Chain A
């Protein structure tokens, strides 16, 4: 095959260009490819780790979440506990372990074991992720704190519940937050503050059927 002079020239230019900058170009491609593959590998490891936790959580859901009015058998409670323990031990940094703790708290309350319920919720808060990289969802933390406050209040430690409530802001959970606060004030026999909290809950659009009754119960004489 013969090239014309013009083509020869182009070829020459190309060769020269390749000699001058080909290596750095190839380096660029290699750096990019390695970087990308490493990232993809890391991602897929994360995903399979998370998928394993997800399967456990799914099994937990099928065991515990039943139709309305169906009661849990002892056997299913036991296997649910087993699943929760496995989630917490083997997938402690997954969000599914935190969800598992919520279920654990519920099972404990069903069992009237408020200490265990408190431990479960506290475990959730202690193991939540903070910081810039994928911090635990705010709603989950608020939910856990509100439930923790309810458990503590039900144990009769109203002041500690109030302190806990004072330590965070409720976001869109204001109605629930204010009602629990009212309950705590009521337990401490501080009717004026209880009333104010209940009114705040009412204003925040609470759907609680007992809220109005609670409010009426401590209504001040007009």
Chain B
């Protein structure tokens, strides 16, 4: 086979191909060929471009930051889906911009960066700050510029659709005619009353209703639990801190504070041996005569120092907490008063003359001032350790024993009996806690009769529960619900009666008959409403909505309609006149408002449709692992 390949690779075409590959590698490196093969788990693909898991994770993080929550309270699967959706949309838009050959000039990117307040010190661009800020956000300069350009280009695209929307005069007139129109109408409300008073509700109807609607009369499955609560706050009362411990803690803190005292020193370094001759041949040895006079170390002399860096600072070598300088120097400093110069001290660097320039000895406040705080802190740590050890005991006992008696005995916790509650939870903060409820209804506790695991409520309370009583879902007996059913059936009958009356009124009206008599007989009356607007205050919203949903009657005529409200009332309505609104009737403010609302909505709808259309035309595959959504 190798021979065949060799034979075949002699042709001009084969050589051109090899040349091509060599050229490709020379210009773009090995990654151009190998890179395509490496695989970073992809969660989606948009027109052949991958969205990787790390990108998704970063977006989820940003999303979390923007809502200011932590993952614990949110459904992670849902969050990932939202983030992925955002990424896909972003990718689709960017590709759309690229396909349209949109670009951002590097000048424009520069301008944006220079004007970014994040990169400014006192209103002036600072390149060091910029580079540092980019780095903390995880960007190289090039990477940052690219992502900025991407954002700008998508912004340009959005502007093209959103900021170009308009409202023509004719369109605004139509909207004004509809939205600010006023209607004259009157209506009769046939409310539920006691029209069926005295009519018995037959027993067989009640039974039939009971049989057909059993689900309405089911009692939920319920449990009653016993539980013990381990409460950290209760442990505070048990703990007392003895004075010796307070004293010991005080001394510990005080000595740490004193140890953090600082001294500041200056020195002259005299190099010895070869270093001396090579670096500083003259004339300092002559001048150094002054130096040996104790107490006379001064700036001029310091210039003679072989430590040129400190010499420029007048010999200052900064602060020490007792460990910064060579041991010998530190020892010398210990013996000095501020302003004194030491005898020559030898270290690995040469011979020093050291002067103590500042001596800040920290003083710790007396015990009386800090005792209260120390006592509190000591007891907190004691309480914490007690709490955690008991928590462990609690977990062990809950697992090893059945029932709560032993736990109660060993840990001195009171057993509390709860009321019966369903999966919706009980009345106090423990029986309404979601974790407690799910533990109470778990097979392990409910069926096997075991203690639950320790359920932590926040970080200072923990609960163990045991199911005391359990009731299966059950159908309430007919006798118990007979009254309820009778009431339901009575309401139904009343609704039917009201509707029947209303409908007969409506048909009389449509036939042009006079209904005054019927209204009087039933103690009903017309309620007139003239010039009502769509958002008329003080009107029943349902009536208003129905009045405006009716087609306008012809000039000089009226139209009738009847409808049932959600509370069962039947309304007969006569629409008498419609006054079209007009742009001219609006105040300048109302007009401006209407235009802005119209344009804004139109812009938003256009952008939404644009994004949807771009997605429609893109080839998108998602392989986000489906997590069961609760």
Contact of A64 among B163, B171, B610 (CB under 8 A): B163
Selected interface stretch from B21-29, B224-232, B378-386: B21-29
A203 part of interface (Cβ distance < 8 Å): no
A217 part of interface (Cβ distance < 8 Å): yes
Pair B613/A32 contact, Cβ less than 8 Å: no
B170 part of interface (Cβ distance < 8 Å): yes
How many angstroms from the CA of A151 to the CA of B616 in the assembled complex?
27
Closest to A219 in B: B551
Closest to A32 in B: B23
A28 and B16 in contact, given A172-B612, A207-B604, A217-B552 (Cβ under 8 angstroms): yes
Pair B12/A24 contact, Cβ less than 8 Å: yes
How many angstroms from the CA of A21 to the CA of B616 in the assembled complex?
51
Selected interface stretch from B55-63, B104-112, B360-368, B498-506: B104-112
Which 7 A-B pairs give the minimum distances between C-beta atoms? A28-B19, A51-B105, A32-B23, A172-B613, A172-B612, A154-B168, A102-B164
How many angstroms from the CA of A65 to the CA of B107 in the assembled complex?
21
How many angstroms from the CA of A117 to the CA of B606 in the assembled complex?
18
B586 part of interface (Cβ distance < 8 Å): no
Contact of A105 among B102, B164, B175, B605 (CB under 8 A): B164
Chain B residues with Cβ below 8 Å from A68 are 596, 600
Pair B166/A110 contact, Cβ less than 8 Å: yes
A83 part of interface (Cβ distance < 8 Å): no
In the complex, besides A103-B164, A210-B179, 4 extra interface pairs with C-beta distance below 8 angstroms are A25-B18, A61-B159, A106-B166, A151-B168
How many angstroms from the CA of A50 to the CA of B156 in the assembled complex?
13
A32 and B19 in contact, given A55-B105, A138-B617 (Cβ under 8 angstroms): yes
Contact of A137 among B99, B104, B164 (CB under 8 A): B99
A96 part of interface (Cβ distance < 8 Å): yes
**A/B interface sample: 22 pairs, CB < 8 A:** A25-B19, A28-B22, A28-B23, A29-B22, A31-B16, A51-B103, A51-B106, A54-B108, A58-B156, A64-B163, A65-B159, A94-B101, A99-B159, A106-B164, A134-B100, A139-B161, A176-B609, A183-B174, A213-B178, A214-B174, A214-B178, A219-B550
Pair A216/B163 contact, Cβ less than 8 Å: no
Contact of B551 among A31, A106, A220 (CB under 8 A): A220
A165 part of interface (Cβ distance < 8 Å): no
Chain A residues with Cβ below 8 Å from B159 are 61, 65, 99
Closest to A108 in B: B166
How many angstroms from the CA of A222 to the CA of B552 in the assembled complex?
14
Chain B positions 546-565 with a Cβ under 8 Å from a chain A Cβ: 548-552, 559
Chain A residues with Cβ below 8 Å from B24 are 32
Shortest CB-to-CB span from A120 to chain B, Å, is: 10
Pair A21/B168 contact, Cβ less than 8 Å: no
Chain B positions 568-597 with a Cβ under 8 Å from a chain A Cβ: 592, 596-597
Chain B residues with Cβ below 8 Å from A48 are 105
A96 and B102 in contact, given A154-B171, A176-B609, A217-B551 (Cβ under 8 angstroms): yes
Q: Mark B76-110, 1 if CB is under 8 A from A, else 0.
A: 00000000000000000000100111111111100
Chain A positions 51-73 with a Cβ under 8 Å from a chain B Cβ: 51-52, 54-55, 57-58, 61, 64-65, 68-69
The interface of chain B, by Cβ under 8 A from chain A, is 10, 12, 15-20, 22-24, 26-27, 96, 99-108, 152, 156, 159-161, 163-171, 174-175, 178-179, 534, 548-552, 559, 592, 596-597, 600-601, 604-606, 608-610, 612-617
Pair A153/B170 contact, Cβ less than 8 Å: yes
Contact of A54 among B102, B164, B168, B170 (CB under 8 A): B102
Shortest CB-to-CB span from B5 to chain A, Å, is: 15
A interface size (C-beta, 8 A): 72
A36 and B23 in contact, given A21-B10, A54-B104, A153-B170 (Cβ under 8 angstroms): yes
Chain A positions 179-222 with a Cβ under 8 Å from a chain B Cβ: 183, 206-210, 213-214, 216-221
Contact of A24 among B16, B552, B600, B615 (CB under 8 A): B16
Chain B residues with Cβ below 8 Å from A143 are 161, 606, 610
Shortest CB-to-CB span from A99 to chain B, Å, is: 4
Closest to A215 in B: B549
Pair B169/A112 contact, Cβ less than 8 Å: yes
Pair A47/B18 contact, Cβ less than 8 Å: no
Chain A residues with Cβ below 8 Å from B613 are 138-139, 142, 171-173
Closest to A52 in B: B105
Pair B22/A55 contact, Cβ less than 8 Å: no
Pair A106/B107 contact, Cβ less than 8 Å: no
How many angstroms from the CA of A218 to the CA of B549 in the assembled complex?
9
Shortest CB-to-CB span from B591 to chain A, Å, is: 13
Chain B residues with Cβ below 8 Å from A134 are 99-101
A176 and B178 in contact, given A29-B22, A36-B23 (Cβ under 8 angstroms): no
Chain A residues with Cβ below 8 Å from B12 are 24
Closest to B24 in A: A32
Chain B residues with Cβ below 8 Å from A58 are 104, 108, 152, 156
How many angstroms from the CA of A50 to the CA of B534 in the assembled complex?
51
Contact of B18 among A28, A55, A114, A207 (CB under 8 A): A28
Contact of A36 among B27, B101, B152 (CB under 8 A): B27
How many angstroms from the CA of A103 to the CA of B102 in the assembled complex?
17
Pair B163/A47 contact, Cβ less than 8 Å: no
How many angstroms from the CA of A52 to the CA of B108 in the assembled complex?
10
Chain A residues with Cβ below 8 Å from B614 are 137, 139
Pair A137/B96 contact, Cβ less than 8 Å: yes
How many angstroms from the CA of A25 to the CA of B473 in the assembled complex?
85
Q: Mark A79-115, 1 if CB is under 8 A from B, else 0.
A: 0000000000000001110010011011001101010
How many angstroms from the CA of A142 to the CA of B617 in the assembled complex?
13
A27 and B166 in contact, given A51-B104, A95-B100 (Cβ under 8 angstroms): no
Chain A residues with Cβ below 8 Å from B17 are 28
Shortest CB-to-CB span from A63 to chain B, Å, is: 11
Pair B18/A50 contact, Cβ less than 8 Å: no
Pair A218/B101 contact, Cβ less than 8 Å: no
A175 part of interface (Cβ distance < 8 Å): yes
How many angstroms from the CA of A24 to the CA of B15 in the assembled complex?
7
A147 part of interface (Cβ distance < 8 Å): yes
Closest to B175 in A: A210
In this complex, the member of A25, A68, A153 whose beta carbon has the largest number of chain B beta carbons within 10 angstroms is A25
Shortest CB-to-CB span from A137 to chain B, Å, is: 6
Pair A46/B179 contact, Cβ less than 8 Å: no
A150 part of interface (Cβ distance < 8 Å): yes
A27 and B19 in contact, given A142-B613, A154-B168 (Cβ under 8 angstroms): yes
Pair B16/A27 contact, Cβ less than 8 Å: yes
Pair A218/B551 contact, Cβ less than 8 Å: yes
A33 part of interface (Cβ distance < 8 Å): yes
Shortest CB-to-CB span from A112 to chain B, Å, is: 6
Shortest CB-to-CB span from A69 to chain B, Å, is: 7
How many angstroms from the CA of A96 to the CA of B163 in the assembled complex?
14
Pair A32/B20 contact, Cβ less than 8 Å: yes
Closest to A95 in B: B100
In this complex, the member of B161, B165, B174, B534 whose beta carbon has the largest number of chain A beta carbons within 10 angstroms is B174
In this complex, the member of B178, B552, B606, B609 whose beta carbon has the largest number of chain A beta carbons within 10 angstroms is B609
A172 and B616 in contact, given A51-B103, A137-B96, A210-B179 (Cβ under 8 angstroms): yes
A154 and B169 in contact, given A214-B178, A217-B552 (Cβ under 8 angstroms): yes
Pair B23/A176 contact, Cβ less than 8 Å: no
How many angstroms from the CA of A99 to the CA of B175 in the assembled complex?
28
A136 part of interface (Cβ distance < 8 Å): yes
Chain B residues with Cβ below 8 Å from A150 are 168, 171
Contact of B15 among A28, A36, A142 (CB under 8 A): A28
Pair B156/A61 contact, Cβ less than 8 Å: yes
Q: Mark A114-152, 1 if CB is under 8 A from B, else 0.
A: 100100000000000000001011111011000100110
Shortest CB-to-CB span from B303 to chain A, Å, is: 58
In this complex, the member of A25, A139, A150, A206 whose beta carbon has the largest number of chain B beta carbons within 10 angstroms is A139
